[in-house]
Structure 1
Amino acid sequence: MSSDFWAGYISGAGGILIGNPLDLIKVRLQAGQARDPLLASPQARGGSYLEAATSFARGAAAPILGYGALNAILFVAYNRTLKALDPSISDPTSIDEVSLTKIWLAGATGGMASWIVSSPTELIKCRAQLSRDRHTSSWSIARDMFRANGIRGFYFGGLITSIRDSVGYGFYFWSYELCKRSMSSPDDTAHQETLKVLACGGIAGIATWTSIFPLDVVKTRLQTQPLDTIPRGQASQTQPLVRSSDTRVLGSWEIARQAYRTEGLRVFVRGLGTCNIRAFIVNAVQWAAYEWLMKEFNKH
């Protein structure tokens, strides 16, 4: 495997470990389950402090494995696309003269390529995070979805996920490179360079999520609708996810209209503050890890 694959995989998996607690809060705010989950006591939620602490890890298994692979595919596709758009590139870590438009297009292509992993990962993660059964795991949800609908079931909500990823990752790489160019200086020490990479990574995360957050709200609500995730008549820990026969599954446009009618425009930015705090922390760490790993791999 190439160096950018492993650098992307390791940095992506590490970012999920750091950001999952805040991602859990973001998803629950988007789905309308809670106004401010942090303020609710464990007793008010019907559980112990230990259950409250362990709940922050809920839904982490799928993204830890999936997001590592997603990040690996993302960076490989981005670097290869950028090289195709500008054959003069010899080192993917040094692209100061490349057009920002090409960088956006390469990022959007990378986002579209990563969809094959991001769609099932997001679906399983969101359902695990919103489950009211503390015994429900990512694995049990994935198993029951596969039994009911096969591979196709993992790509429910795939269209809006692909649009979100393509647009978002276009701005992700574009904003990171723009920030690096505006902050870089030939006189930077190694310490200053590291701090700037952390800052630019965090800013890129915020720019990305701000640009696609309304789409992400709709995606979350679409993917967490009650659906048939197990064959009828069989018991399962994911029973709350089973759709009753008289329930109609809504599309993205219908969900957006329904959300606007019942909750107004504010619904499309609910949880953005929490999301941006997470985005800054996770992407600062991810970019710093990616840049360091690429340098280390390239030495050998």
Structure 2
Amino acid sequence: MSADFWAGYLSGAAGILIGNPLDLAKTRLQAGSPASSPEEPTSLRNFKSNFDRAGTLVRGVTAPILGYGALNAILFVTYNRSLTLFGDDPATPNNLWKVWCAGAVGGLATFVVSAPTELVKCRTQVSTAAAASSWSIARDTWKQEGIRGLYYGGGITSVRDAVGYGFYFWSYEMSKQAMSSPNDTDKQAAMKVLFCGGLAGIVTWASIFPLDVVKTRVQTQVADAISSTLPEEQRLLRGDLEPTKLGISKRQGAFQIARQSYRNEGIAVFFRGLGVCSVRAFVVNAVQWAVYEWMMRLLRQA
């Protein structure tokens, strides 16, 4: 395997380990709580309620650690190869438009991993069932809907990834070129990588957050379909129900979800959780880029 593959894989896994608690809060804030009523004392929209117990902090982390490491590896390999094909040097790119296009190609290439990983992660994170895990959600989805079920919401996921990763590499390279100096010490260079990586994460999520809100709601519709007819402890992702009882045939597409969300909750719904996501994005992507750059130097010297 190439150096950028392993550097991308390890940096992706490191980012997930650090950012999962805040990612869980973001997902639950985006998904909302369709079944909540004035009588219910706790809502998923309340930030503190997203951390009801210690185990919640790592809920849904298994799928992203395995999946996002592979996703990041595919992303960086495809980005570097695409930028080379566009006639630019991945180590020192000169054309930011080519950087954006290569990032978008890399984002599209991650679809095969990101779509099922995101679906399993989101459904696990919004589940309140104590026995819910990444493995049980993936198993039940496969059992009930097959491979097609794991790629539900894949269309909007691929659009989100293409646009987002275009801005991801573009903003990182632009800020890095603006801040870098040939006289930087190793410590100064490392601090700038951390800052530029964190900034790239914020720019990326700010550019695609409405798409991500819609994606989350599209992929968690199995839970929404049965939330109003079952007791709370049985509401989310019941594996023993037949697909027809889960309301799969009634699930809506991305445009329908977006229109309904706007009609019911206004424009603010598309930015719910952006604050939490921005904090997470800065920390996670600062670490990811630092690990990636460090691993690339290490592997090139080997």
Q: TM-score over 0.5 for the alignment? A: yes
The separation in 2 between residues aligned to 1:3 and 1:110, in whole angstroms, is: 16
Per-residue deviation, residues 58-90 of structure 1 (Å, max 9, x unmatched): 00000000000000000000000000001x63x
Cα 1:41–1:10 shift into 2, 3 Å: closer
TM superposition shift of 1:36:
2.6
Aligned twin of 2:39: none
TM superposition shift of 1:35:
2.5
TM superposition shift of 1:95:
1.3
Cα 1:156–1:190 shift into 2, 3 Å: same
Q: 2:50 touches 2:56 (CA, 8 Å); kept in 1?
A: no
Q: 2:222 touches 2:237 (CA, 8 Å); kept in 1?
A: no
Gaps of 5+ in 2: 34-43, 227-233
Q: How does 1:45-84 map to 2 (within 5 A)?
A: 52-84=53-85
TM superposition shift of 1:237:
8.8
The secondary structure found in structure 2 opposite 1:134 is: coil
The answer to whether the aligner puts 1:193 opposite 2:189 as a matched pair is yes
Per-residue deviation, residues 277-296 of structure 1 (Å, max 9, x unmatched): 00000000000000000000
Per-residue deviation, residues 240-294 of structure 1 (Å, max 9, x unmatched): 7956366711110110011001100000000000000000000000000000000
Cα 1:58–1:124 shift into 2, 3 Å: same
Q: One-letter code of the match for 2:286?
A: A
Aligned twin of 1:49: none
Please, which of 134, 140, 148 is the counterpart of residue 144 of structure 1? 140
Q: How does 1:1-40 map to 2 (within 5 A)?
A: 1-33=1-33, 34-38=44-48, 40=49
TM superposition shift of 1:236:
12
Q: 2:140 touches 2:239 (CA, 8 Å); kept in 1?
A: no
Q: One-letter code of the match for 1:175?
A: S
Q: How does 1:149-160 map to 2 (within 5 A)?
A: 149-160=145-156
The answer to whether the aligner puts 1:100 opposite 2:96 as a matched pair is yes
The separation in 2 between residues aligned to 1:236 and 1:165, in whole angstroms, is: 30
The separation in 2 between residues aligned to 1:241 and 1:28, in whole angstroms, is: 24
Q: One-letter code of the match for 2:81?
A: R
Aligned twin of 1:239: 238
The separation in 2 between residues aligned to 1:69 and 1:154, in whole angstroms, is: 17
Per-residue deviation, residues 72-122 of structure 1 (Å, max 9, x unmatched): 000000000000001x63xx3x214x2000000000000000111000000
Q: 2:12 touches 2:288 (CA, 8 Å); kept in 1?
A: yes
TM superposition shift of 1:145:
1.1
Q: One-letter code of the match for 2:86?
A: L
Q: One-letter code of the match for 1:153?
A: G
Aligned twin of 1:122: 118
How many residue pairs are counted as aligned between the two chains?
A: 281
Q: 1:81 touches 1:106 (CA, 8 Å); kept in 2?
A: yes
RMSD of the TM alignment (CA)? 2.2
State, as a whole percentage, how many aligned pairs show the same letter.
Answer: 59
Q: 2:16 touches 2:61 (CA, 8 Å); kept in 1?
A: yes
Per-residue deviation, residues 24-68 of structure 1 (Å, max 9, x unmatched): 000000011323322x497xx6xxxxxx11111000000000000
The separation in 2 between residues aligned to 1:55 and 1:288, in whole angstroms, is: 27
* TM-score normalized with structure 1 length: 0.89
Cα 1:100–1:237 shift into 2, 3 Å: closer
Q: One-letter code of the match for 1:208?
A: T
Aligned twin of 1:48: none
Please, which of 278, 281, 285 is the counterpart of residue 279 of structure 1? 281
Cα 1:262–1:100 shift into 2, 3 Å: same
The separation in 2 between residues aligned to 1:182 and 1:237, in whole angstroms, is: 48
The separation in 1 between residues aligned to 2:193 and 2:215, in whole angstroms, is: 30
The separation in 2 between residues aligned to 1:252 and 1:41, in whole angstroms, is: 25
Q: 1:140 touches 1:237 (CA, 8 Å); kept in 2?
A: no
Gaps of 5+ in 1: 46-51, 230-234
The secondary structure found in structure 2 opposite 1:82 is: helix
The answer to whether the aligner puts 1:162 opposite 2:158 as a matched pair is yes
The secondary structure found in structure 1 opposite 2:222 is: coil
The separation in 2 between residues aligned to 1:238 and 1:144, in whole angstroms, is: 8
* TM-score normalized with structure 2 length: 0.88
